[in-house]
Chains A and B, each alone.
Chain A
Amino acid sequence: EPEVTQTPSHQVTQMGQEVILRCVPISNHLYFYWYRQILGQKVEFLVSFYNNEISEKSEIFDDQFSVERPDGSNFTLKIRSTKLEDSAMYFCASSEERTPTEAFFGQGTRLTVV
């Protein structure tokens, strides 16, 4: 069964450092998303991406965040200068059609900022 793959599963970084979280969406999917879940809180939408541009973003997705599809398979989330409050589980998702149709989620990357 096709799946969304995220790497790394866990990343520890120092405050102020840049991090790149990587995702390989399902190959025939056209819509891509990032969500995050701070420990003990809700899963929150960050951004959606379609046709090589941001389709929608939340208020969380400020100038410190960026997304890119550098090639035909990867979808990345970059945080330029990490803060302690960026510590969270980050989920990538993809879908064939624009949500709210079925989105397939990866297993997540746990980011710890120290």
Chain B
Amino acid sequence: AQSVTQPDIHITVSEGASLELRCNYSYGATPYLFWYVQSPGQGLQLLLKYFSGDTLVQGIKGFEAEFKRSQSSFNLRKPSVHWSDAAEYFCAVGANTDKLIFGTGTRLQVFP
């Protein structure tokens, strides 16, 4: 069965620092991978997705993620965090069904 693990429940960084949010998945074949962000009072917004091809994918708001098959990981990165990046981040995996499997989320706090 597919599953997604986000090991970090809560991360705090200083504004301008780099960021890496971890995501590990379990799936037998090549999955479809997503990162969503949820700001307070907002819905889930797609940051980026990986289906195939180049394993380094670029997303919105300066985020990128790298698919590493050998590590079953799809970590989200940003070189310099802005205060407006404070939000909850969800990794999700999809396969050949209608449903997305989400991780438990990582709450990012940014200090000035």
Nearest Cβ distance between residue B93 and chain A, in whole angstroms? 8
Give the size category of B's interface with A: 20 to 34
Within 8 A of B (CB), among A85-114: 91, 93, 98-100, 102-108
Give A3 to B45 CA distance when docked, in angstroms: 10
Is B110 close to A, CB under 8 A? no
Q: Is B102 within 8 A of A99, CB to CB?
A: no
Q: Is B102 within 8 A of A42, CB to CB?
A: yes
Interface size of A by CB at 8 A reads 27
Name which of A14-22, A43-51, A66-74 contacts chain B: A43-51
> Quick one: given A4-B43, A91-B44, A105-B44, are A42 and B100 in contact (CB under 8 Å)?
no
Within 8 A of A (CB), among B6-27: none
Q: Which residues of A contact B98 (CB under 8 A)?
A: 31, 33, 45, 48, 55-56, 98-99
Q: Is B99 within 8 A of A106, CB to CB?
A: no
Nearest Cβ distance between residue A22 and chain B, in whole angstroms? 14
A-B contact pairs, 15 of them (CB 8 A): A4-B43, A48-B98, A48-B99, A55-B98, A56-B98, A56-B99, A91-B44, A98-B98, A99-B99, A99-B100, A104-B43, A105-B36, A105-B45, A107-B41, A108-B43
**Which of B's residues lie within 8 Å of A, judged by CB?**
32, 34, 36, 41-46, 49, 51, 90, 92, 94-105
With contacts A41-B104, A100-B95 known, what are 11 further pairs, Cβ within 8 A? A31-B98, A33-B98, A42-B103, A42-B105, A43-B44, A43-B90, A45-B99, A91-B43, A99-B99, A104-B43, A105-B36
